[in-house]
Structures are given as C-alpha cells and as structure tokens.
Amino acid sequence: MGVLDSFRLDGRVALVTGAAQGLGQGIAVGLAEAGAHIAALDVMPLDETRESVAAEGRRFHAMEYDLRKTGAGLAARIVGECVEAMGRLDILVNNAGIIRRAPALEFSEEDWEEVIRVNLSAAFYLSQAAARHFVEAGRGGKIINLASVLSYEGGILVPSYSASKAGIANLTRALANEWAPMGINVNAIAPSYFATSLTSALRADPERSEALLARIPAGRWGTPEDLKGAAVFLASDTASYVHGAVVPVDGGWLGR
C-alpha cells in the first residue's frame, strides 16, 4: 500500500461528538471525504452534517445525547448504539466542548462543573468505552481528542475551559501510555482561535479580536476545514506509530 493509500479510511466507522456544527462538523465531513462512515453525536440538529456526509456517499447515524449527564453507563450506551447501528467502531473523536466566561472570583460552581463534565469527563468515559470495544474486537482503534492552545496557557476569564483542556492533553498521554501496546492510538489536536460559536464573544469584541489576530502569525481565524487534514492523518494507518501526541493546528500561535 502506497503512502497516499494509507490515508484512506474506507469502510471504517468514526464516532464524532459535537458534530452538528463548527469543528466537529468539519472533522466529521473530512473523515467522510477520506472514506469513513460517520456516527455523529450532538444535542443540536444534525441535518446539515448528515447532508454533507451523504454527499460523500457515506452512511450516517445521528445520536442525540447530552454529555453534561456523562458517566460510564452513558458512554457504554453511546458506543453500543454506534456499533449496533453501524456494525463497528474504528475511530472516536472527542470534540464536544463548551465554554463559560467569567472572572475566577465570580466563577459559579455550575459553570465549573458543567465544563469539566462535558470537556474532560465525557472524553474519558467515551474513550474508556471505545477502548473496551477495540480490545474486544481485536483490531485496535484510533482516539482523537480536541485539546487547545489553552492546554499550554491559562487564558483569560476561562478557568474551567483552560483546566479541562490541560486535562485533555495529559489524559491523551496517559491513555496512550496504557493503550499503545493494544494497538490503540490516542492523540489530540490543539486548535487556536477558530471562527466557531465558542469564539463568537471574542470576535464580537473589536479590541479583543484585533489583539488575538495580531498574535496569530497566519493573520486570520481558523476555520473548521483547517482541521480536516490533521484529523484524517491521526485517524489513518499513516499515524500507526503516533501515540500521545498533541498536534497544534494554530496558525502559528504557540510559536509566537
């Protein structure tokens, strides 16, 4: 098999959380373009993602779950439904995430707990459930977590988000350490500032937006399409010897 062929995902099934819009939708469509069938999870309507995946000739299964209620039992049900509906699971993308902004002195318990539950706890429980399936199926698998440049930095007014993304980076390494011998690749992508609903408040603030763009060497906000290549790479056989990596897709932010 040539190197270009090793990027193909034909016949594989990817479960992508938070796939209704933004980064998750971009990743789901990118994986479908590379040949994967998609199981998409979100609390929002998935019609647009379904249409884009179907346009690539891939199968699609929509799942509506609220990851604020995450736990080992819910994660097992999600993976079980994916396998039952699609026949298998090969790739898990833990993309679902939320953000809350407030000064740390005023940050509420609810805003702390919800962000940690969705961004970090759900990623662990889903990874655990997927890995159990991979081991039982005996063919390994791929797990891709969505980290952030705030996995490396503290950020401003987003203590729970920054803590969750730092946790994702080290969770990625910890799981890779245990699961690499089982043929399970666990890696992460670390975006910077992308034009999605999570950054709408920043982009609406002219002063903050200008300061952020001045820091990004690429000189623009990222788009969901910018993540397709990294996601396909980490989901493919090309990355079979990549374990525990956190890959920045940041317009040069971390190098500045």
Instruction: Domain of residue 103: give its range.
Output: 5-248
240 phi, psi to nearest 5 deg: -65, -20
- pLDDT at position 64 is 97
The answer to the question of residue 253 being in a domain is no
**Cα–Cα–Cα angle for 123, 125, 131, rounded to 5 degrees:** 95
Number of domains in the chain: 1
- What is the spatial distance between Cα 147 and Cα 248, in angstroms, rounded to a whole number? 9
In whole angstroms, give the CA distance from residue 25 to residue 241.
Answer: 27
* Alpha carbons 166 and 158: distance in angstroms, whole number: 12
Q: Does residue 106 belong to any structural domain of this protein?
A: yes
In a domain, 254, yes or no: no
> 62 - beta bridge partners?
40
Q: Is residue 256 part of a domain?
A: no
Alpha carbons 229 and 238: distance in angstroms, whole number: 12
Helix (H) or strand (E) holding 146: strand 141-146
Q: How far apart are CA 92 and CA 28, in angstroms?
A: 11
User: Token pair of 14, please?
Assistant: 């990817």
Q: What is the pLDDT of residue 114?
A: 97
Q: Please give the DSSP secondary-structure letter assigned to residue 135.
A: H
Q: Active-site positions?
A: 161
**What is the full per-residue pLDDT of the chain (256 aa) written as tens digits?**
688 899 999 999 999 999 999 999 999 999 999 999 999 999 999 999 999 999 999 999 999 999 999 899 999 999 999 999 999 999 999 999 999 999 999 999 999 999 999 999 999 999 999 999 999 999 999 999 999 999 999 999 999 999 999 999 999 999 999 999 999 999 999 999 888 877 777 778 788 888 888 999 999 999 999 999 999 999 999 999 999 999 999 999 999 8
Q: Which amino acid is at 179?
A: W
Assess if residue 255 is contained within a domain: no
Question: Which of 73, 64, 87 is closest to 17 using CA atoms?
Answer: 64
CB 30 within 8 A of CB 228: yes
Pairing of strands 60-64, 184-191: unpaired
**φ, ψ for residue 60, nearest 5 deg:** -145, 135
Give the predicted TM-score (pTM) of the model: 0.95
Q: In the prediction, which pLDDT does 236 show? A: 98
Could you tell me the CATH number of the domain that includes residue 42? 3.40.50.720
Q: For residue 218, is it within any domain?
A: yes
